[in-house]
Amino acid sequence: MLLIRTRAGKPSNSTPSYGVVVVVVAVCIRMTSMSVRHSAEYYDRPVTRLHRVYDQIVTNFLRGSSMKQIVGLVLGVSIIAAPVAAQTGGGASAHVAVLKAQAETVRSLVLRTAEKVPEDVYSFKPTPEIRSLGGVIGHIADGNNLLCGMANGEKPNFNQANEKKTTRAELVAALKASFAACDKVFDATTDANASTAVDLFGQKQTRLGVLAFNNSHMWEHYGNLVTYMRLKNIVPPSSELNR
């Protein structure tokens, strides 16, 4: 038998009443927010507020709060959930929006790294046989140009020119240019071509699949940059929010 908490704060074996409804609604809120939170920025998008409302509903229910208090929170969800639902419409556009939001998150971290690290650290290599810090930044730009071009159905262009650049001005400009090139591919992705088969190093992938792979590539090498920065006692941009 499901136990619910009465207003007096004591468990009851009575037939489930509003408590069950509140829990079900709260779980639905949690599942909805989790299903789309990867498309939202962490701090100030509606999806984060959905998580906070969920926590408030469950906490108030377990504390035996009044029905009016809990219902007020549940009704407030409708105001928050509407824009979240709008962000995740049907068709390919919803998936494109998610992938582009993910891309913008890691792009920001890479760009802030390029702008934050002292220019004399760009040549730093943890071991001699690997890329320098600046080389990793340039490699990310080159990877964007290569992979987004392939997502667009173009033949692979293995150009490593940006990896050889050494100054902040050159590398920041290279990053921004590569982001703009990828944005053109994102913007040109529609329901009609999102699932179009394209070649990815001998494998058949979809246009969206290659864009997702490029996001993974950027995250992989941002992870490299984090290690480089830590070795130089530099706080990575992704850790600044926690300080």
Q: What is the pLDDT of residue 66?
A: 52
- Distance separating alpha carbons of residues 84 and 37, to the nearest angstrom: 9
Q: What is the pLDDT of residue 20?
A: 42
- Distance separating alpha carbons of residues 136 and 238, to the nearest angstrom: 17
Higher pLDDT, 129 or 13: 129
End-to-end CA separation in angstroms for the chain: 46
Q: pLDDT, tens digit, for every residue of 86-112?
A: 444 557 788 899 999 999 999 999 999
| Domain ranges for the chain | 4-87, 92-240
Classified as helix, coil or strand, 186 is helix
CA 118 → CA 122, 168, 188, distances in Å? 7, 9, 37
* Percent above pLDDT 70 for the chain: 62
Q: Is 201 left (phi over 0), alpha (psi -120 to 50) or beta?
A: left
For domain 92-240, say whether CATH 1.20.120.450 is its number: yes
Q: pLDDT, tens digit, for every residue of 13-42?
A: 444 444 444 444 444 444 444 444 433 333
Helix (H) or strand (E) holding 197: strand 197-200
To 10 degrees, the CA torsion angle through 223, 207, 163, 175? -80
Question: What is the average per-residue pLDDT within 214-243?
Answer: 94
Q: What is the pLDDT of residue 200?
A: 95
Question: What is the average per-residue pLDDT within 51-78?
Answer: 48
Q: What is the pLDDT of residue 104?
A: 97
The alpha carbon dihedral of 116, 120, 123, 128 has a sign of negative
Q: What is the pLDDT of residue 78?
A: 44
